[in-house]
Structure 1
Amino acid sequence: MTVEAAEAPIPQLPCARVQLLPEVYWAERFDLPVTHAFVAETDPDGVAPAQSQANREREEVMLWEKLVRRLEGDWAPTGRYPEESYLEDLRTRDALAERLVAAPPALRDPFAGAADALDEVFRAHTEDDGGELLGRVTRSGAAVRERGWWWQRRPRRVPWPSGY
């Protein structure tokens, strides 16, 4: 067995790269009240097919809520979060915005309500910087300004090692 990377230095493995490992953060568990309320309203019996619109929307709400809960908890328990994972969460919010526009009437109100509730928490734990941070992180400069408003905001405390 070979250990190529670890989240912290391991004296017995001096050659192992030290880096944030996304797999560690994927496994974290959160209380997701907005997601649970969305599911209770859109699929209370849990019978929606896996590929249904309701399940795709539930997944986007859940992923967005996980980021929001991380922000709300100041990146607990480690105080860290991988830069690429953060960008992927913002891309999830992009997909959520697209799906909101196309949502069927029966799902539109609960879906929009869930997005609005999570967006409010996201705004409360981020600061508008006009996309400066994410323009640097993505190396796209001002191009992030053409994306959703969530790309214009930065975490109050940047949780990845480069910190920029």
Structure 2
Amino acid sequence: MLVSVARYDVCRLEIERSGLAQGIREAVAEPVYSLRNRFSYWERLVRRMESDWQLPGQYPIRAYVNDLDGHARLHSAMGTLTREARSELSVLLATLDARFVSASVPDEEGELRPC
């Protein structure tokens, strides 16, 4: 599993470096959107929701949409892994997803519907 995750992260690092200036490129050693970080970002949102949003300041709808997009990209990233890695990490992702659903409130008014 670790080899599959490392392979994903190496590819992701090259993608992220490709948009940087030469002098900065070499200084970036880890991708911002590594698989570990993608899981961490999703878990952070779930924990916030479970804590009844006790956040300082505001949490703009764009930030929420960005977090949901990150979740979709996490699922896409899972599809690039070996079957063994997918199997192991799917348990973690399913657990986080279930916690997210449990902490969610249905949008019956359609307030989050795109304009």
Which bracket does the TM-score occupy, shorter chain normalised?
0.5 to 0.7
Which residue of the partner structure matches residue 19 of structure 1? none
Which residue of the partner structure matches residue 100 of structure 2? 122
Aligned length: 92
Gaps of 5+ in 1: 1-40, 140-164
SS in 1 for 2:105: strand
With over 3 angstroms needed to count, the CA separation of the structure-2 counterparts of 1:72 and 1:116, relative to structure 1, is same
Bigger helix fraction: 2
Which residue of the partner structure matches residue 78 of structure 2? 100
TM-score, normalised via structure 2 length:
0.64
SS in 2 for 1:121: helix
Partner residue of 1:78 out of 26, 34, 56:
56
SS in 2 for 1:102: coil
Report runs of 4+ in structure 1 exceeding 6 Å deviation: none
Q: CA deviation at 1:128?
A: 2.9
Q: CA deviation at 1:78?
A: 2.3
TM-score, normalised via structure 1 length:
0.47
* Structure number, greater radius of gyration: 1
With over 3 angstroms needed to count, the CA separation of the structure-2 counterparts of 1:80 and 1:108, relative to structure 1, is same
Structure-2 separation of matches of 1:124 and 1:68: 10
**Of the two structures, which has the highest relative contact order with CA contacts closer than 8 Å and spacing of 6 or more?**
2
Bigger strand fraction: 1
**1:38-65 superposed Cα distances (whole Å, 9 cap, x missing partner):** xxx848xxxx475267x83212111111
Q: Is the counterpart of residue 59 in structure 1 residue 48 in structure 2? A: no
Identity between Structure 1 and Structure 2 (%): 26
Q: CA deviation at 1:67?
A: 0.6
Q: CA deviation at 1:130?
A: 6.2
Whichever residue aligns with residue 109 of structure 1, its letter is S
RMSD of the alignment, in Å? 2.7
Q: CA deviation at 1:98?
A: 1.4
